Amino acid sequence: MSSAFSGEEPSVGVETAMPEAVRDVREAVAGMAGFGLAYPVLMNLTRGGDAAATASTQFCVAWALGLLVLGFAESAPAVRKLTIGLAFLQAVVGCWAIRDSATVPPVVAIVSAAYSLATSAAVVYLLCRPEAKAWFGVPGSG
């Protein structure tokens, strides 16, 4: 008797729905990448080229993350690891830009760094949830 008539769910080659935690990661990263595109433009219009360069540097990793999350696929633990690594890097780079308060107003630098840090932390947290780990096929997760 074939598995089509046995009442069992086939597990090989069948895609499952993307868990909510993974969808939330995609949305958070899309927002951060979008902000990372708009922020340098606004800094250039209001503060000049040096401020735009600082703002671009602050969110350059978010642009790579934005492209990476478009390729999320089930059973791809390497993609999950790379996303977590880039989220950590984005948190560091995003906070590192605070040191350049000569070109970007301090309040703006702190708010954008806090946004980068909070979003990066949320991405790591969501990707470490059991349903996300299971969907990405992390060994020992389910």
13 conformational bin, left if phi > 0, alpha if psi -120 to 50, beta if neither: left
Where does the pLDDT of residue 131 fall: very low under 50, low under 70, confident under 90, or very high at 90 and above? Answer: very high
Q: What is the pTM of this model?
A: 0.84
Region 109-118: what's the mean pLDDT? 94
pLDDT in tens, 38-96: 999 999 999 999 999 989 999 999 999 999 999 899 999 999 999 999 999 999 999 98
Residue 113 lies in a domain: yes
Residue 54 lies in a domain: yes
| Residue 3: predicted pLDDT | 46
Residue 59 lies in a domain: yes
Q: How many Cβ atoms are within 10 Å of 15's Cβ, its own excluded? A: 8
The count of structural domains within the chain is: 1
Q: Which residues form the domain of 112?
A: 20-135
Q: Is the dihedral of CA 125, 126, 131, 137 positive or negative?
A: negative
